[in-house]
């Protein structure tokens, strides 16, 4: 029974770095690339890879814009991402509840 629930955990979110990205976006709605990099202690390349994966799943939206001639990469959580994150949290709770 518990194995079954564990298998249902969303793999795109379950990885620690991606879980961190989703948690921060859940709280701030929108975050800048450098902010995420600093908070999660990730390298540029590493963070880009995780962001691309989340974007591919349509959990986040990535926008690039220029602020005072400097490029900024902004990440936003989508409605689909929000739903997936809530479901992931519910599944974590189920695992905790169902394990004696």
If one asks whether residue 53 binds another protein (CB under 8 A), the answer comes out as: no
CB-side neighbour CA atoms (13 Å) of 65: 8
* 66 DSSP assignment: E
For residues 33, 9, 53, 42, the Cα torsion angle rounded to the nearest 10 degrees is 40
Q: With contacts defined by CB under 8 A, how many residues of the chain interact with another protein?
A: 29
- The CA-based dihedral angle spanning residues 38, 79, 18, 22, taken in that order and rounded to the nearest 10 degrees: 50
46 is a contact residue toward another protein (CB under 8 A): no
Footprint (CB under 8 A) of another protein, residues 7-26: 14, 16, 19-20, 23-24, 26
Exactly one of 11, 29, 83, 86 binds another protein (CB under 8 A); which one? 29
HSE-CB at 83 with a 13 A cutoff on CA atoms is: 5
State the nearest-atom distance from the C-beta of 45 to another protein, in Å: 19
Which residues would be at the binding site for another protein (CB under 8 A)? 2-3, 6, 14, 16, 19-20, 23-24, 26-32, 34-35, 38-39, 72, 74, 89, 92-93, 95-96, 99-100
């Amino acid at each position: 029974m518990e194995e079954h629930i564990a298998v249902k955990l969303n793999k795109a979110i379950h990885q620690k770095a991606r879980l961190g990205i989703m948690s921060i976006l859940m709280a701030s709605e929108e975050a800048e690339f450098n902010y995420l990099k600093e908070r999660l202690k990730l390298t540029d390349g590493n963070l880009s890879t995780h962001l691309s994966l989340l974007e591919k799943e349509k959990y986040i939206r990535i926008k690039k814009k220029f602020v005072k001639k400097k490029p900024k990469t902004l990440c936003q959580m989508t409605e689909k991402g929000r739903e997936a994150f809530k479901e992931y949290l519910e599944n974590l709770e189920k695992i905790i509840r169902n394990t004696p």
